[in-house]
């Protein structure tokens, strides 16, 4: 990720960009992001106008006059805050690919530390804990290493956004903090992170605020986007090929710790069932779904 120090803090530039780059819905002139009336036409400005532009629902304002070489607006114009809609699309692309990696890790952990008795698969605490830890490690390393090395994950590269530091410092530590704090931003299916970003001047979630980073638009070259697309497809294809083969190979290891059975998945004559913590969920082929309280044997 590039360092910025010659024209002041990137955060100041991004903040200035947000406040100066909103369009009056009446006369289409540039106004401040939180003004109530347009100075040019006197029309009332809706309170959420700047949020509509950030989400891509309306076209953003364009500079009315080309700034001169000596104008500081020239430096500010190099950065444009990524829209929340674009960030959401990048997140969906990343998660859809990561689900393939999660499936490989989960299949390996569950097949190694779970038992199969007849038609019932018994998942031990060791297998579930290992699967959760592996998924967490994959999510963290994927975001941390790619953002530190390239400034963007595969999803961000495909959409055209990247991470920048708003202060001087190392990108490795900043990206590590940013991705570690996903545990807080992800609360409520990322509702907390989205709410914080929507209220921030430069759309920073909790991880961005603590790591001093921001997400901006970036015009990646065709080769970069093509490479990201190939890697995205290849990862999903490789996961789809590997998971059935892992599941078909039994390499059971008796866990020394956490060997108690937590989840039971099985099939009876007319239904399939899932038992978790004394609750049985029966999936009947003709009668629908029923839930019963039942002690796990």
pLDDT digits over 251-265, tens only?
778 888 888 888 888
Answer yes or no: is 281 within a domain.
yes
Average pLDDT for 53-64: 54
**Closest alpha carbon to 81 in 221, 218, 224:** 218
Q: What is the pLDDT at residue 266?
A: 85
Compute the distance between CA of residue 202 and CA of residue 204 in angstroms, rounded to an integer. 6
Claim to verify: residue 178 and residue 40 sit in the same structural domain: no
Q: Are residues 149 and 219 in the same domain?
A: yes
- On whether residue 103 sits in a domain, the answer given is yes
pLDDT value, residue 210: 95
Sign of CA dihedral 45, 51, 55, 61: positive
The mean per-residue pLDDT over the stretch 45-55 comes to 62
Q: Are residues 47 and 95 in the same domain?
A: no
Mean pLDDT of 72-82: 56
How large is the angle between the packed helices 222-247 and 84-113, nearest 10 degrees?
Answer: 20
**pTM of this prediction?**
0.71
User: pLDDT: is 264 or 231 the higher one?
Assistant: 231
152 within domain boundaries: yes
Is 3 inside a domain boundary? no
How far apart are alpha carbons 22 and 19 in whole angstroms?
7
**Tokens of residue 73, six digits:** 């607006």
Question: Max CA-CA distance within the chain?
Answer: 80
Same domain, 102 and 191: yes
| Cα–Cα distance, 7 to 228 (Å, whole number) | 32
pLDDT at 165 over 50: yes
Asked if residue 215 lies in contact with residue 208, where contact means CB atoms within 8 angstroms, the answer is yes
pLDDT in tens, 91-119: 999 999 999 999 999 999 988 888 877 77
Q: How does pLDDT run across 192-224, given as a tens digit for each residue?
A: 999 999 998 889 999 999 999 999 999 899 999
Domain count, the chain: 3
Residues 106 and 33 in one domain: no
Stretch 52-76: mean pLDDT, rounded? 47
Residue pointed to by tokens 């700047």? 50
Looking at the fold, whether 229 and 287 belong to one and the same domain comes out as: no
Residues spanned by the domain of 126: 84-247
Give CB contacts under 8 A, 24+ apart, made by 7-11. Answer: 7/72, 7/75, 9/166, 9/167, 10/79, 10/164, 10/165, 10/166, 10/167, 10/214, 11/166, 11/167, 11/202, 11/212, 11/214
CA distances in angstroms from 232 to 77, 96, 105, 270, 292, listed in the order given: 31, 9, 17, 40, 42
Quote the CA–CA distance of 200 and 246 in Å, as a whole number: 45
In the structure encoding, which two tokens stand for residue 255, read together?
């866990």
- pLDDT more than 90, % of the chain: 46
Q: What gap in Å lies between CA 157 and CA 31, rounded to an integer?
A: 31
Residue 29 sits in the same domain as residue 134: no
């Amino acid at each position: 990720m590039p360092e910025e120090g010659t024209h002041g803090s990137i955060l100041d530039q991004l903040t200035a960009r947000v406040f100066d780059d909103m369009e009056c819905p009446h006369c289409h002139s540039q106004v401040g992001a939180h003004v109530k009336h347009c100075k040019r036409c006197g029309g009332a400005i809706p309170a959420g106008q700047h949020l509509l532009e950030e989400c891509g629902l309306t076209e953003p304002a364009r500079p009315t006059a080309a700034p001169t070489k000596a104008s500081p607006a020239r430096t500010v114009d190099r950065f444009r805050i990524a829209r929340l809609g674009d960030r959401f699309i990048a997140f969906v692309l990343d998660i859809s690919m990561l689900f393939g990696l999660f499936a490989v890790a989960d299949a390996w952990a569950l097949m190694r530390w779970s038992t199969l008795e007849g038609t019932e698969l018994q998942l031990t605490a060791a297998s579930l804990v290992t699967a959760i830890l592996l998924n967490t490690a994959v999510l963290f390393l994927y975001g941390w290493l790619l953002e530190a090395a390239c400034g963007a994950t595969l999803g961000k590269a495909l959409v055209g956004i990247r991470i920048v530091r708003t202060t001087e410092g190392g990108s490795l530590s900043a990206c590590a903090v940013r991705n570690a704090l996903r545990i807080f931003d992800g609360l409520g299916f990322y509702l907390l992170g989205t709410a914080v970003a929507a209220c921030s001047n430069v759309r920073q979630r909790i991880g961005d605020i603590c790591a001093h980073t921001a997400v901006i638009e970036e015009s990646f070259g065709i080769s970069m986007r093509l490479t990201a697309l190939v890697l995205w497809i290849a990862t999903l294809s490789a996961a789809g090929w590997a998971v059935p083969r892992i599941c078909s190979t039994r390499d059971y290891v008796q866990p020394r710790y956490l060997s108690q059975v937590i989840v039971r998945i099985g099939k009876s004559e007319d239904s399939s069932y899932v038992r978790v913590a004394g609750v049985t969920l029966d999936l009947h082929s003709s009668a629908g779904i029923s839930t019963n309280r039942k002690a796990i044997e």
